[in-house]
Structure 1
């Protein structure tokens, strides 16, 4: 069964693991997690495949690394505007 989560719920999911956590282990630990973006979704293991780290030292480290590789188009709410410049 797939767990579907929004990006703002990522910390709660990552907090269920024991750190330090090798990225390879994170891919299998979170193989049932689907991240919901503003414009679609993607599996967490696919996102982890783009992370350049070998190991996460903490929840904050994991979240930071993941958010750095999430597509820019995926962040934000649907229909959200950058505003008038």
Structure 2
């Protein structure tokens, strides 16, 4: 292995270790701090219901042809796009 290749590999390893260390340190530091409050969504021209609304029963079909109901989405984050062309 050439000397320049060895120096390059060592430099890359040190950069990766530095990034990993900074990321880990940031996570440890932020874990001890108070979470930031949620933004006021009215600033973004959004409507926020005072009380949560009950989601009615529904049946959808996913991209594999499987049936999806309200119970399948319960307790999970879901990104839904409803649109047309």
Fold shared per TM-score above 0.5? no
Compute the TM-score of the two structures, normalised by the length of structure 2.
Answer: 0.21
Higher strand share: 1
Compute the TM-score of the two structures, normalised by the length of structure 1.
Answer: 0.21
